[in-house]
Structure 1
Amino acid sequence: MILAIPAGLALNLGIGVMVLGQGTGALVAGVVYLAGAALVCVAMRRHYPHARLGSCNAVTLMRMALTTALIAPLVGGVAAGWAVAAIATISLTLDGVDGWLARRSGLCSDFGARFDMEVDAALALILALHALAGSPVGPEILALGVMRYLFIGAGLVWPWIMAPLPVSYARKAVCVLQLATLIALQVPVLSDDLAITLARIAAAALIWSFGRDVLWLRGHR
């Protein structure tokens, strides 16, 4: 972890400055990354059952660095674009790598799964903010970015919502659809009608997925 955090910070700042062309925004993104890394360290001490970080969690940390780097253009007032889409695609691609590494190295854990999930949620929120600023889709696009946080907020009111859920390939497929749609909305190749249609399909699928999970949790509380 001692080496992984500085490596992630270097990746974060390098992308912000050299790829996204942002100075002040890159510094803000770096601060957000460090704050996230600090929270990860605290959570690892409390909930991680293994003695070593492992390449799986290092990859997730790099995903977090890529994700938070996308804050830089938002701070700089530059939303969406090919560079944002490319970086987000790399982060999404690595989403399957960290799980494979965890299984291969025997370092699977609830902490690792939660870490991975929260990076996905952060990526969705940041991409939704980019899409809101740079795509023809209206404020409804935020549904693709805030559902996870609404779910957590509901869990503060009804604790049974935070109970473990069974593995669901449908849930995973909807997550991929959500992020793939948000990435597609970053590039100026979709017609306005197609962009709006894709966003609404993905939002409907996401609402269905969360609604199904809430109903399951309510029935098994």
Structure 2
Amino acid sequence: MEPAREPAPPPLTPGNVPGVLAVFLALGLVHLAFVGLVGHRLGGGAVALAVAMFAAVLIVAGASLRAHYPHPRLGLCNAVTQLRAALVAVIAVPLAAPGVLEVEPGLAWSVVSLAALALALDGLDGWLARRAGLVSDFGARFDIEVDALFALTLALLVAQGGKVGLWVLALGVLRYAFVAGARIWPWLAAPLPESRARKLVCVIQIASLIAMLAPPVGGGVAVSLAAASLALLIWSFGRDVAWLARR
């Protein structure tokens, strides 16, 4: 006699919401701890910026859970993505104090270290989701949007520091320009196939922005890194747009 099969896990329901909120609350406390580490010397405005950014991520993520998450638990995979979002919000703290990274190398290295940690965690969430059977449209989109916010935050910090001109912001806004374009041309919103090249370009983009924030990296090197990264990013988006246009 065959053993009885376990029933399929139910979708996320209102009864699961307290558990979801508990996870988000715990990650919020982790975020506040990071804010205290980096932003305590920069005043209430800097801390408020990080808290507001992280709260916005929580609200947007929570709103899309019901529509796009079919599993009964969030799992470690989504917790890792949320932790990355918390790190990004802390990395944004110096935006409230223009020029602080140039006069405080120690703080600049702290930001570089936290950014490197956030980049190192990229990809772990997807691996954990596949391992636990928790792959979802929500998790994939959540990861992409955290990456986009990460790149924009880093680009703003680099532009603020003056090593590269304002054109470096293109490294942070191309993703949002692509999304805006999809509102005008809906065919741009069609699903794209998996691409290792696209993922590699994203890693190079973010790693280059992190390197530009390191105190030893001068303006000449930073400009070269930014130009090379932007060329790769334009190629990557251009390739995706061409693929979508052909279909």
Same fold, TM-score > 0.5, yes or no? yes
- Once the two structures are TM-superposed, the CA of residue 135 in structure 1 deviates from its matched residue by 4.3
Larger Rg over CA atoms: 2
Q: Distance in 2 between matches of 1:20 and 1:207?
A: 34
Cα displacement string for residues 1-36 of structure 1 (whole angstroms, at most 9, x for unaligned residues):
222222222222222222343332112211221121
- Once the two structures are TM-superposed, the CA of residue 191 in structure 1 deviates from its matched residue by 2.9
Q: Which amino acid aligns with 1:128?
A: A
- Matched ranges for 1:1-221 at <5 A: 1-21=20-40, 22-24=42-44, 25-77=46-98, 78-79=100-101, 81-220=108-247
For normalisation by structure 1, the TM-score amounts to: 0.95
Q: Which amino acid aligns with 2:73?
A: R
Q: Which amino acid aligns with 1:8?
A: L
Q: Which amino acid aligns with 1:16?
A: V
Q: Which amino acid aligns with 1:10?
A: L
CA contact (8 A) 2:38 2:93 kept: no
| Deviates most, 191-200 or 169-178 | 191-200
CA contact (8 A) 1:152 1:162 kept: yes
CA contact (8 A) 1:136 1:195 kept: yes
Q: Which amino acid aligns with 1:55?
A: L
Q: Which amino acid aligns with 2:43?
A: G
Alignment coverage as a number of residue pairs: 220
Q: CA RMSD in A?
A: 1.3
CA contact (8 A) 1:11 1:66 kept: no
| Deviates most, 147-156 or 31-40 | 31-40
Q: Gapped runs of 5+ residues in structure 2?
A: 1-19, 103-107
> After TM superposition, which residue ranges in structure 1, 4 or more long, deviate above 4 angstroms?
none
Q: Distance in 2 between matches of 1:54 and 1:8?
A: 13
